[in-house]
Amino acid sequence: MDRRRFLTAAGIAPLATQLPGIAFAQQRSFTPMPGKWRTFEIVTRVDIPNPRGETQIWVPVPSITNDWQVSLDTTWKTNAPQANLATEREYGARMVHAQFPSGEKSPWLEVTSQVRTQDRNDDVAGTSSDARPSMGLKRYLQPTDLMPVDGIVARTAQEIAGNKRNAEDKVRALYDWTIANTHREPKVRGCGVGDIKAMLETGNMGGKCGDINALFVGLSRASGIPARDIYGIRVARSAFGYKELGAGSPDITRAQHCRAEVWLAGRGWVAMDPADVGKVMRLETDQWLKTTNHPVVAPVNTALFGGWEGNWIAYNDAHDVALPGSRGAKLGFFMYPQAETGGERIDSLDPDTFKYKITAREITGA
């Protein structure tokens, strides 16, 4: 056990006796460890109920293969005369793209993907296969449309981590600051927008994973540390009993979640997820927990700095995504199915105009 984990664990038991209303039974364990691979099948069914002309559908599929995920086969069924597996050029995000003529009254597309995944603990795993510097790292220092790395973002990063001596200390400071200064806001639609400049300028620091992890990534890039959001979806319950850190049922239609990584020399990409710490603080119990020292929060706060649980699969790490064949604007990120009809983008979060269902099941013995 490293010193950071020992100190955190040592502080939990006394805290439970010091704070009123905290029962011993509330203490939790959250210790994801690599080693056991699991295989999941994800099925996404999209239906367009009231098409207004030519229609297109784009469904994200797993595009990432590395030490903690292997993206396997993707197949599809549809009544579209044209459908193919497309790849976005800049980041390599994959998707099934279906095109329907104006006469089709009920466009539909069903996509099935299989993925193998495992838990991560980068303190245990040590150096990853991506640990050597790559020319591709430059991309993960650059701004995106919603993630500038100058102005107020650069000033904030300097205030938080400018006096830290090495990259890991900077990342630790940014991680702690993000958790302390943001909060989970359940009223935000979907996973949020990710406009980090607006968050800092307005002081409105409530959001969801697409906002909070984007802020952490942007601050890291502004500090000279390669970082990226990874967009995906939860596919199973948490093995550690955290209801907010897993999918509650096989229906995962609203289980989208993005995570973060930072690149540290000699270690490669290291897992991070400050947004999920905030989610546990706000939603895991019937009270809004305001400290990471709480025995429900502390194990998650520790583990998500360097790890995460493999009950989640990644689609891509793409920003500013231009959907092939689309007439609409670029997407800030690509984590939800998308569609257009009559040349207009359909709101992917409006169930009255855009109907889709995503299910997941674990394939045992695979």
181 and 329 part of one domain:
no
Q: Please tell me whether residues 127 and 112 are part of one structural domain.
A: no
pLDDT at 17: 37
Side chain identity at residue 120, one-letter code:
R
The predicted structure's pLDDT at residue 53? 94
Instruction: Clarify whether residues 173 and 291 are in a common domain.
Output: yes
Residues 147 and 230 in one domain: yes
pTM: 0.91
Full domain range(s) for residue 256: 3-30+120-309
pLDDT band at 82 (very low <50, low <70, confident <90, very high): very high
Q: CATH code at 218?
A: 3.10.620.30
Q: What digits encode the pLDDT tens for the residues 269-322?
A: 999 999 999 999 999 999 999 999 999 999 999 999 999 999 999 999 999 999
Model pLDDT, residue 198: 98
The number of distinct structural domains making up the chain is 2
Residues 268, 327 within the same domain: no
DSSP symbols for 307-348? EE-SSEEEEE--EEE--TT--SPPEEE--S-EEEETTEE--T
pLDDT digits (tens, 9 = 90+) for 129-187: 565 555 589 999 999 999 999 999 999 999 999 999 899 999 999 999 999 999 999 99
180 and 269 fall within a common domain? yes
pLDDT of residue 243: 97
> Confidence band (pLDDT; 50, 70, 90) for 327?
confident
Q: Is residue 261 part of a domain?
A: yes
- Using only C-alpha atoms, what is the Rg of the chain? 21
Strand partners, 185: none
Q: Do 282 and 161 share a structural domain?
A: yes
Based on the domain organization, do 335 and 198 belong to the same domain? no
Which one, of 259, 266, 198, lies nearest residue 228 by Cα? 259
167: helix, strand or coil = helix
252 in a structural domain = yes
What pLDDT is attached to residue 129?
53
Q: Which residues pair with 298 in a beta bridge?
A: none
When pLDDT is cut at 50, 70 and 90, the band that residue 15 belongs to is very low
Q: Is residue 314 part of a domain?
A: no
Whether residues 128 and 64 fall in one domain = no
Q: What are phi and psi of 100, to 5 degrees?
A: -120, 140
Residue 14 has pLDDT above 60, yes or no: no
Is 316 within the bounds of a domain?
A: no
Are 100 and 51 in contact, with CB atoms under 8 Å apart? yes
Which CATH number is 48's domain given?
2.60.40.2250
8-18: average pLDDT: 40
Task: Verify that 301 and 347 share a domain, yes or no.
Answer: no
DSSP for residue 251: B
